[in-house]
Amino acid sequence: MTGGEAVSNDDAGGESAPPVVLKLGGSLITEKNEPETLDEAALHAACDAVAGALAAGTADRLVVVHGGGSFGHHHASEHGVSTTDGTRDAEAAAAIHGAMKRLNAHVLERLREHGVPAVPVHPLSLAARAGGADGGLDLPLGSTATLLGEGFVPVLHGDGVATAGDGVTVVSGDELVVELASGLGARRVGVCSTVPGVLDVDGDVIPAIDDFGSVADALGASDATDVSGGMAAKVRELLALDAPAYVFGAEGLVPFLRGEGAGTRID
């Protein structure tokens, strides 16, 4: 949250223990190179891990964010829209948002089938960028905090976002994770993707990162269609957080949700 105060959900009638923020990467839950195709097995496993952690009480206050995968990125790329290049074409904005809502509906349905009380929060309806070189993202968090306090698992997603001077740009799930974590005072942040962590130039998992410069050479974009910057953007975003963040693959999800370390720790 750009310069804002952390939002408390004390007034929402629920417990106010700091939440866990988890991003399910689009490359994990979709077949990123097949337009609008889910990776059903990976999504099922992720929902199972979330349901297990809620049942065990190890991540009882949880906000989930998911990325675009083969839903948002294909449409954004087709229309030339990215986190920095906007559109004033309503059809383009609707195509990107529509694809993300379709993916969000699948994720919600699967989570609820696993008994997770998941409800949607759509960033296009809430957020805005001030625009310009240093224009920050404004993501009001009242609805998410209140839903959390009422015992729901809010599920946000990368989306289009109103951008002053530029129409609609893309907001990545990684940016949302940062806003949610700082605004809600998260205790831990997890970013689950298809890689077991941030990899060094030899392909080995880097155990911990506390400085972008020391790993910049190893960080690239995504190896699939991706308008939001892949791993380099992820690490930059996560370094800005107070809470410890972990980047891991599917195998790290259960340990992360148990409160253990997984993949690469970024702080």
Ligand X SMILES: C=C(C)CCOP(=O)(O)O
- Contacts with ligand ATP by CB under 6 A lie at 25-28, 67-69, 73, 173, 193-195, 198-199, 218-220, 222-224, 226, 228, 230-231
Nearer to ligand X, 47 or 168 (CB): 168
- Residue 62 touches which of ligand ATP, ligand X, none (Cβ within 5-8 Å per kind): none
Nearer to ligand ATP, 73 or 149 (CB): 73
Nearer to ligand ATP, 67 or 183 (CB): 67
Q: Which residues bind ligand X (CB under 6 A)?
A: 26, 67-68, 72-73, 76, 96, 100, 158-159, 170, 172-174, 227-228
Helical residues (DSSP H) of the chain, grouped into ranges: 26-29, 40-56, 69-78, 90-113, 142-149, 173-184, 230-239, 253-257
Min dist CB 265 to ligand ATP, Å, is 14
Min dist CB 219 to ligand ATP, Å, is 5
Tokens (6 digits) for 180: 């949610």
Nearer to ligand X, 25 or 185 (CB): 25
The answer for residues whose C-beta is within 8 angstroms of residue 176's C-beta and 6 or more apart is: 23, 65, 123, 139, 156, 157, 158
Residue nearest to ligand ATP (CB): 67
Min dist CB 212 to ligand ATP, Å, is 12
Nearer to ligand ATP, 15 or 251 (CB): 251
**Hey, how many other C-beta atoms are within 10 angstroms of the C-beta on 69?**
32
Min dist CB 82 to ligand X, Å, is 8
Tokens (6 digits) for 213: 């410069």
- Residue 59 touches which of ligand ATP, ligand X, none (Cβ within 5-8 Å per kind): none
Instruction: Please give the torsion angle defined by the CA atoms of residues 63, 206, 201 and 67, in that order, rounded to the nearest 10 degrees.
Output: 0
Separation in Å, CA 42 to CA 47, 76, 161, 264:
9, 24, 28, 20
Min dist CB 33 to ligand ATP, Å, is 11
Min dist CB 166 to ligand ATP, Å, is 20
Nearest to 7 by CA among 184, 243, 187, 188: 184
Nearer to ligand ATP, 27 or 169 (CB): 27
Encode burial over 8-17: b for 16+ CB neighbours within 10 A, e otherwise.
ebeebebebe
CA distance 138 to 259: 29
- Residue 170 touches which of ligand ATP, ligand X, none (Cβ within 5-8 Å per kind): ligand X
- Residue 223 touches which of ligand ATP, ligand X, none (Cβ within 5-8 Å per kind): ligand ATP
- Residue 86 touches which of ligand X, ligand ATP, none (Cβ within 5-8 Å per kind): none
Nearer to ligand ATP, 223 or 251 (CB): 223
Separation in Å, CA 74 to CA 26, 84, 87, 106, 228:
12, 16, 15, 17, 12
154 neighbors 121 (Cβ within 8 angstroms): yes
